[in-house]
């Protein structure tokens, strides 16, 4: 790394003021998965790497992908190009990204010996230096233009991948373990949590201005299990990272909004099913809400997108960061994305 | 069909009294997917049919699969062994059931010409005589022991399969059409609805005592779309079938419980995410609620299953039909299923 001093992001940046819950002139806007296939320049960059993981592990390439949507779309934040599955990999479970299928873990966790064999905490996070390097390269290249978001998967979601070996229709292997061996489940969640904390501390040290936790499979758990196996670990992570604002996006966890309202995070992400007023009534007045336009809206005609975006902004009111309710889908027309971003920015 | 008069189910049967919202001595109990792989005798029967569809289309085999859980588990209702995808097939979209993958439609709906080409209403339902035969054979063999549940997919869920060609992580093709061409979407939903009504009328004529509509992908829609593209068609179907009680199970549609409360159905099914008190407050006092134990509970030790089942029964209180919050998973231990059923019946 060069020793040239970085122009740091101003703490007065619209996005950071909004994330802290301050009154702002308009909601900031970005899109989950904005660094990705929606952009032609991403597809060109991606073509240089036959292997997705080689791409993720090349800091200059990851930095370039991270910055592309800032240049192309004018979004108010960059999010580091990476994958939540680097954490299980760092803990000792290798995965393959299978084109048009998704991630696959050849080895999964089946019992106590497997859990015991996993690396955790700083020991595991040490192998994620390539992400920290990508953050440093990005930070330098951004030169203070917009804040840089770091992220990790939430412990329950990482646990689910480690048990299932990939996505699943029912997540019954992961959920089965919560019933069949709750003590071992907690041991594994504990190891994921300490690793995630070490990993996110590394991201902050490397320049992340805000952190987002993705609990992609939150909606698979019954409320009592979410309270027992997800909430305490999310809370531990949030408490361990007081330096930056934190966003928790627990997809499908409408039933846990009260818990999310009490969490030591500043921002709560919402999926496209959750009416803003329903969420606000449950998380309370303090939290900033992020979301939640249906990503499929962006396939519609520009007038429809514009009207839906304005309606969403009206429904949220203040303390809002505009985003979709899920990652933008790879085949979304770029014009639809632009209409969304520009509608928010034109407010 | 033989002309021997059937012993019909008594309208006083516990299950039918409960479904009508009458006060009952204990909640009746059955399991979604109870006719299936959890039973050794099902697996033996299934082995005679290399092709799943040949199995479904053989009335005697379907009847045998339907009755097996009544004999083996002592559940309070039988549900006809079939598949929701017989409706798109009858409308002209053939599907294949791919072992351990799920259904696949080689041809999907891509535009107005495809929609126009689909059969609908009685014209389509006429080809489902094999289901009606299966109901008649089952009804005769049941000889009034327990009521027989007929079923169909909800229009939005069938629409989703017709556009996606199978299951999907995001259902973005089906949801895209709702935004990109709402008029054509309504045309297709209309055709599915008239077919479903004709099909369910046929099921009633063949002996179905209660009907359940499965809206498996309800949770994928934003609330406004669920209200526009799902609720009116469900309501049309319910209104068209006043002869028997009807259950609507809209998985993931927690945000539409008020709409379901106003629907012309007697029973509302709940998934395992939805706390009974949350649902009751929204559907009102009249509806019977069905559900909603997490199917993964049945992997636990018997004491855990018993306690979880009793706790669920306590939370529901009266006007309740006990069931899981999803279809029972194929690898569930039979002892777990028995513990669940017997705990409810022992009340």
Q: Do B273 and A219 touch (CB under 8 A)?
A: yes
A104 contact partners, CB below 8 Å, separation of at least 6? A95, A96, A97, A98, A165, A166
**The token pair that represents A175 in the structure block:** 């959920």
Cβ-contact A162, A105 below 8 angstroms: yes
Token pair listed for B85? 């995808």
Predicted confidence at residue B101, as pLDDT, reads: 83
With a cut of 70, say whether residue A5 has pLDDT above it: no
Which structure tokens are listed for B118?
A: 């689909």
| B298-307: average pLDDT | 97
Q: What pLDDT, on a 0 to 100 scale, did the predictor assign at position A9?
A: 78
Residues B207-224 have pLDDT tens digits of 999 999 999 999 999 999
Q: Which of A37, A164, A172, A275 to mutate to test the interface with B (most CBs of B within 10 A)?
A: A172
- Distance (Å, whole) CA B150 – CA B141: 16
Closest among A206, A72, A49, A212 to A139, alpha carbons compared: A206
Kindly indicate the confidence band of residue A7, based on its pLDDT and cuts at 50, 70 and 90: low
Catalytic position from the list A46, A145, A306, A338: A46
Q: What is the pLDDT of residue A4?
A: 53
Token reading at A313: 């902004």
Question: What's the pLDDT at A2?
Answer: 47
For residues B255 and B270, what is the distance between their CA atoms, to the nearest angstrom?
A: 12
Residues above pLDDT 70, as percent of chain B: 98
pLDDT for the residue numbered A347:
82
Q: Which residue of B has its CA nearest to A330?
A: B172
Facing residue for B275 by CB, picked from A255, A299, A326:
A255
- Report H helices in B168-230: 172-180, 182-205, 223-229
CA dist., res. A298 & res. B296, Å (int): 36
Helix (H, G, I), strand (E, B) or coil at A50: coil
Question: Which residues of chain A are within 8 Å of residue B175 when distances are taken between CB atoms?
Answer: 294, 296
Q: Which residue has the tokens 């429904």?
A: A315
Mean per-residue pLDDT for A269-279?
98
pLDDT above 90: percentage of residues in chain A: 93
Tokens describing residue B187: 């045309």
> Catalytic residue among B95, B161, B199, B226, which?
B161
At A80 the pLDDT is 98
Exposed (0-12), middle (13-18) or buried (19+): which is A169, by Cβ within 10 Å? exposed
User: B170, A255: Cβ pair inside 8 Å?
Assistant: no
A199 in catalytic set: no
Rounded Cα distance, B196 and B151, in Å: 10
Interface contact flag, A329 B296, Cβ < 8 Å? no
Determine the Cα–Cα distance for residues B171 and B8; give it in Å rounded to an integer: 42
Nearest CA in chain B to A301: B180
Q: Do B172 and A304 touch (CB under 8 A)?
A: no
Question: Tens digit of pLDDT for each residue in B105-158?
Answer: 999 999 999 999 999 999 999 999 999 999 999 999 999 999 999 999 999 999
Nearest to B304 among A102, A172, A179 (CB): A179
State the smallest CA–CA distance between residue A180 and chain B in angstroms: 5
- Chain A residues in contact with B300 (beta carbon < 8 A): 179-180
- A299/B225 touch (CB, cutoff 8 Å), yes or no: no
Complex ipTM value: 0.93
Task: Indicate if A329 belongs to the active site.
Answer: no
- The alpha-carbon gap from B127 to the nearest alpha carbon of chain A, in Å, equals 31
* CATH hierarchy code of domain B14-345: 3.20.20.210
From the list B172, B222, B274, the residue facing A273 with the nearest CB is B222
- Contact (CB<8Å) A299/B179: yes
Q: Is A233 a catalytic residue?
A: no
| Closest in A180, A222, A325 to B294, CB measured | A222
Q: Is the pLDDT of residue B1 over 50?
A: no
Residue B218: exposed, middle, or buried by beta-carbon count in 10 A (0-12, 13-18, 19+)?
Answer: buried
B136 has catalytic annotation: no
Chain B CB contacts of A223 below 8 Å: 273, 275
What's the pTM value of the predicted model, to 2 decimals? 0.95
Rg of chain A over Cα atoms, rounded to whole angstroms, equals 19
């Amino acid at each position: 790394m060069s020793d040239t001093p970085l122009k740091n992001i101003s703490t007065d940046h619209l996005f950071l003021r909004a994330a802290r819950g301050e009154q702002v002139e308009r909601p900031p806007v970005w899109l989950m998965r904005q660094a990705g296939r929606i952009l032609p320049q991403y597809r060109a960059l991606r073509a240089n790497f036959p292997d997705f993981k080689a791409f993720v592990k090349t800091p200059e390439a990851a930095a370039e992908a991270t910055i592309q949507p800032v240049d192309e779309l004018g979004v108010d934040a960059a999010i580091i190009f990476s994958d939540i599955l680097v954490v299980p990999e760092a803990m000792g479970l290798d995965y393959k990204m299978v084109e048009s299928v998704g991630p696959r873990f050849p080895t999964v966790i089946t019992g106590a010996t497997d859990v015991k064999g996993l690396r955790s905490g700083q020991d595991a996070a040490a192998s994620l230096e390539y992400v920290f390097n990508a953050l440093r390269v990005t930070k330098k290249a951004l030169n203070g233009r917009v804040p840089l978001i770091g992220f990790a998967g939430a412990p329950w979601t990482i646990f689910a991948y480690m048990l299932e070996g990939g996505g699943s229709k029912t997540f019954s292997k992961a959920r089965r373990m919560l019933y069949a061996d709750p003590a071992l489940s907690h041991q594994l969640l504990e190891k994921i949590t300490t690793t995630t904390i070490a990993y996110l501390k590394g991201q902050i040290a490397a320049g992340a201005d805000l952190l987002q936790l993705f609990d992609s499979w939150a909606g698979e758990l019954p409320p009592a299990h979410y309270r027992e196996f997800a909430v305490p670990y999310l809370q531990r992570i949030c408490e361990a990272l007081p330096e930056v604002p934190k966003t928790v996006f627990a997809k499908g966890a409408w039933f846990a909004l009260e818990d999310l309202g009490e969490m030591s995070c500043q921002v709560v992400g919402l999926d496209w099913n959750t009416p803003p007023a329903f969420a606000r009534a449950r998380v309370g007045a303090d939290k900033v809400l992020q979301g939640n336009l249906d990503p499929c809206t962006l396939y519609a005609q520009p007038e429809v997108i514009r009207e839906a975006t304005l309606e969403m902004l009206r429904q949220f009111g203040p303390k809002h960061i505009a985003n979709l309710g899920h990652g933008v889908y790879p085949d979304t027309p770029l014009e639809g994305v632009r209409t969304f971003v520009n509608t928010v920015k034109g407010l």
